[in-house]
């Protein structure tokens, strides 16, 4: 026979909602039912629950669990037995007569809530229950007999909630779990061992639910960030051009899609194809954001008709306004290819010179002796534009220093521009071109480095076949 314990109303601590259950408890002789009002009965003594040997020493510094009981029976209170947690500590008990008092007692140290589904404003629940306490505060309809539970779930979204009801009210108890309670208990079967186990289960299940929710939220946020970053990657505008375009991009940041490197390609109404590649020093999220801003600014200024020195000077102004600190700078390479595809204008702002490959000849770097400084280094810098002859059939490769600064083996030697040119020529001799050429080059650079390249890598390849 279960041995529930009436509320201890003779101590001030209980009245204030801070009671700790005693070791021996008085209980009513008969269990309550949902069909009849609950009344007090002469108490009897019940032995306390005995913890397993050594349980109290398992975790001497563990924080005792606190249970908030919400019920309003004026005939003697909800009968709750003494309960111990898994470490042998008494589970602390607080009691509230209504939802307003429960909200006041719902402090951060409460771990679990035990809600009596017979909670009312005036007395025990009958076959035609009045509106639950708190209905006006929650806006629930009077016919909603789980309004009190819904209110508790709203004010305590991170707490485990148990509901208590009569055995013949199992359908409503199951509905309470569906609404959000962790478990339900029958009033007639309540004892210390069962309640202790139910509390521990409810607390751990709530923790697992919260952890699962956070994991799902984290995955959604990562997916959203990935979609955002993919949306910030460039979409080349080459409609109407006979040039072929290929690109490879690898950010240096782990689990990122964007780094400090950036590139873009657009065709203006006069038929000129403009290509750009750049590198913001560093490869964190701030540098990635600045790279996106510079790329978008470059596209807007190019479509507005700027090129060469005027374009780079304006981009430097954008950089100076948007960079998080004055130490941030960016290198840049811009190429504007004439409508006939045989000539190009080249501007370098502290950036490596492009590589050109023509049929029957080894690939080589475009000569450029008078390049300007990186953007953001000198306040009134100039960037001269040099005319370059491309020929009829060619491939022009723009790249960032992440491709050439990888190490070769375990020593300090780096691939460098000369090593990159030699690598590209080997791949060209094997008949590689376009996407396959870029993929093979980036893969070999990683292999020579002995693993992932630590810096951002961006490579753009524009090709033309004279027909």
- Tell me what the mean pLDDT of segment 228-248 comes to: 85
202, exposed or middle or buried, with CB in 10 Å at 0-12, 13-18, 19+? buried
pTM here? 0.57
| pLDDT one-digit tens code per residue, 146-156 | 888 999 999 88
DSSP string, 68-117: EEE---TTT-------B-TTSPBPEEEEESSHHHHHHH--TT--EEEEET
Question: Strands 457-464 and 244-250: what pairing?
Answer: antiparallel
Q: Check residue 327 and give its pLDDT.
A: 93
Cα 20 from chain centroid?
A: 41
Name the average pLDDT for the chain: 79
> Which of 76-80, 205-209, 234-238, 268-272 shows the highest mean pLDDT?
268-272
Token digits of residue 3: 């041995």
CA max distance for the chain: 108
pLDDT beyond 60 at 19? no
Please, are residues 437 and 463 in contact by the beta-carbon 8 Å criterion? no
Structure tokens given for 123:
């007395």
**Do residues 278 and 290 make contact, with C-beta atoms less than 8 angstroms apart?**
no
Query: How many Å apart are CA 236 and CA 227, to the nearest integer?
Result: 18
Instruction: Report the C-alpha gap between 420 and 26 in whole angstroms.
Output: 86
State how far Cα 78 lies from the chain centre: 43
Q: Residue 73's pLDDT is what?
A: 67
With the CA atoms of 57, 58, 59 and 60 taken in that order, what torsion angle do they form, in degrees rounded to the nearest 10?
Answer: 0
Per-residue pLDDT band for 284 (boundaries 50, 70, 90) equals confident
| pLDDT attached to residue 95 | 86
pLDDT, tens digit, for every residue of 351-400? 999 999 999 999 999 988 878 999 999 998 999 999 999 999 999 999 99
Q: For 141-221, list the strands marked E by DSSP.
A: 160-165, 183-186
pLDDT tens-digit profile of 80-132?
555 665 566 677 888 888 888 898 998 888 889 889 888 864 333 434 444 44
């Amino acid at each position: 026979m279960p041995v529930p314990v009436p509320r201890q109303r003779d101590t001030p601590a209980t009245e204030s909602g801070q009671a700790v259950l005693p070791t021996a408890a008085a209980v009513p002789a008969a269990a309550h039912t949902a069909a009849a009002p609950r009344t007090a009965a002469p108490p009897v003594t019940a032995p306390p629950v005995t913890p397993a040997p050594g349980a109290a020493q398992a975790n001497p510094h563990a924080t005792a669990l606190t249970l908030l009981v919400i019920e309003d029976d004026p005939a003697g209170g909800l009968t709750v037995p003494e309960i111990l947690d898994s470490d042998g500590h008494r589970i602390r008990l607080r009691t509230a007569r209504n939802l307003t008092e429960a909200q006041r007692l719902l402090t951060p140290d409460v771990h679990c809530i035990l809600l009596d589904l017979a909670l009312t404003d005036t007395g025990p629940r009958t076959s035609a229950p009045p509106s639950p306490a708190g209905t006006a505060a929650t806006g629930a309809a009077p016919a909603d007999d789980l309004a009190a539970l819904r209110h508790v779930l709203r004010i305590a979204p991170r707490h485990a909630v148990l509901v208590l009801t009569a055995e013949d009210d199992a359908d409503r108890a199951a509905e309470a779990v569906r609404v959000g309670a962790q478990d339900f208990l029958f009033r007639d079967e309540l004892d210390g061992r069962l309640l202790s186990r139910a509390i521990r289960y409810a607390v751990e299940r709530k923790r697992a639910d919260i952890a699962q929710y956070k994991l799902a939220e984290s995955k959604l946020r990562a997916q959203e960030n990935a979609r955002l970053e993919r949306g910030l990657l460039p979409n080349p505008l080459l409609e109407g051009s006979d040039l072929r375009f290929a690109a490879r991009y690898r950010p240096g940041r782990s689990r990122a899609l964007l780094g400090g490197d950036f590139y873009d390609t657009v065709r203006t109404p006069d038929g000129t194809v403009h290509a750009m590649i750049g590198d913001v020093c560093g490869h964190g999220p701030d540098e990635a954001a600045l790279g996106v801003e510079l790329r978008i600014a470059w596209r807007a200024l190019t479509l507005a008709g700027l090129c060469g020195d005027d374009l780079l000077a304006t981009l430097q102004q954008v950089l100076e306004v948007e960079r998080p600190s004055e130490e941030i700078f960016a290198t840049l390479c811009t190429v504007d290819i004439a409508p006939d595809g045989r000539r190009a204008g080249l501007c370098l702002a502290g950036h490596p010179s492009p590589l050109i490959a023509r049929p029957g000849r080894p690939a080589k770097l475009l000569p450029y002796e008078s390049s300007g400084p990186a953007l953001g280094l000198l306040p009134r810098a100039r960037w001269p534009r040099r005319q370059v002859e491309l020929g009829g059939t060619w491939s022009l490769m723009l790249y960032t220093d992440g491709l050439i600064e990888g190490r070769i083996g375990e020593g300090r030697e780096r691939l460098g521009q000369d090593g990159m040119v030699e690598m590209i020529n080997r791949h060209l001799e094997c008949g590689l071109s376009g996407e396959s050429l870029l993929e093979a080059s980036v893969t070999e650079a990683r292999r020579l480095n002995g693993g992932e390249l630590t810096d951002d890598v961006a490579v753009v390849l524009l090709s033309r076949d004279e027909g």
